[in-house]
Chain A
Amino acid sequence: MKQPNELTKADRIAMLGGGIPIALGIVVLGLINTLADAPAAPVVEEGTTVATPLIPVDLRVGLVLLGLLVWAGYAVYKLGVAPTADGQVGGAGTGQPR
């Protein structure tokens, strides 16, 4: 049976709300930090901080965590989505039976 594959508002929120912070935290800010020749996290030698990142590592990790939480929220939401009368679940998927 063909599955519906239109993006719902929830799909879009999860795709963009999850993907953008993760891509920003890992790739965009990572590229800026890397090209500035800065370490990803503070480098401590003998108790002294000898190098610090240009982009605070907590900010980058926080963005990744935010994206993961959005995806997790979407997963929980999908668990509660009731199927229609013909047994279909709306929204985008992967082509696998739902």
Chain B
Amino acid sequence: MATNTERAGADLFGRGLALDVNGGWGGYWIAMLRLLTGYWMFHAGITKLMEGGLMMDATGWMQYGAQGTLVHPITNWFAQNAAWLPNLMIPMGETLIGLGLMVGCLTRLAAFFGTLLMVFFYVGNAGFGHGFVNSDLMGLLLMVTMVVFAAGRVLGIDGWLVNTEFAENNAWLRYLI
């Protein structure tokens, strides 16, 4: 698979930066994080699909599990008016986000939706029983890391996609990969 050359040589708040993800440990680690984060999300989705089919029942969490949290008005509305959407999107989304991350295809798009999902899971922690800094927040941060570093361009399909003529002529696509 293609390895894309990315070198961020820049200035941040007056201090020089030289984070090199071209073939060294930086690139290796970004690819490793992407693979393992992808598997984590894929496993979460595929097991829901295998156990419950296309639709899971998330209404209990949306109505009662997230009660008292900042996202409850949104989750409660969906539970009462359009439960089919999150019931379909949670298992399908997790599976597709995980697949995208594992193979590094449309990684930023996948990780964006992963971030959105993790925001709901994190903010929807009623009582923060596992602490304010918990695994949901760590998952959220991993997803953002995938977006920031365009992780699929290192040892992923995006490394080839970003060099296609179509991607070179369409800047919007490069934001998604």
**A contacts, CB < 8 Å to B:** 3, 5, 7, 11, 15, 19, 22-23, 26-27, 30-31, 34-35, 37, 92-96
Contacts and interface: CB of A to CB of B under 8 A. Distances in A.
Closest 8 CB pairs of A and B: A95-B20, A92-B24, A94-B26, A95-B18, A27-B39, A95-B19, A5-B24, A94-B25
24 contacts: A3-B20, A5-B20, A7-B23, A11-B25, A19-B28, A19-B32, A23-B32, A23-B36, A26-B36, A26-B39, A30-B43, A34-B46, A34-B47, A34-B50, A37-B50, A92-B28, A93-B24, A93-B25, A93-B26, A94-B19, A94-B24, A95-B19, A95-B20, A96-B19
The majority secondary structure among interface residues of chain B is helix
A23 B35 contact: yes
Contacts of A96: 18-19
Contacts of A92: 23-25, 28
Contacts of B32: 19, 22-23
A28 B96 CA distance: 17
B35 A95 contact: no
Contact of A15 (B19, B28, B46, B102): B28
Interface string B47-62: 1001000000000000
Interface of B: 7, 18-26, 28-29, 32, 35-36, 39, 43, 46-47, 50, 102
Contacts of A7: 23-24
Contacts of B22: 5
B155 to A, nearest CB: 11
Nearest to A16: B28
Nearest to A31: B39
B145 to A, nearest CB: 14
A27 B23 CA distance: 22
Nearest to A40: B43
Given A37-B50, A93-B20, A94-B20, A27 B25 contact: no
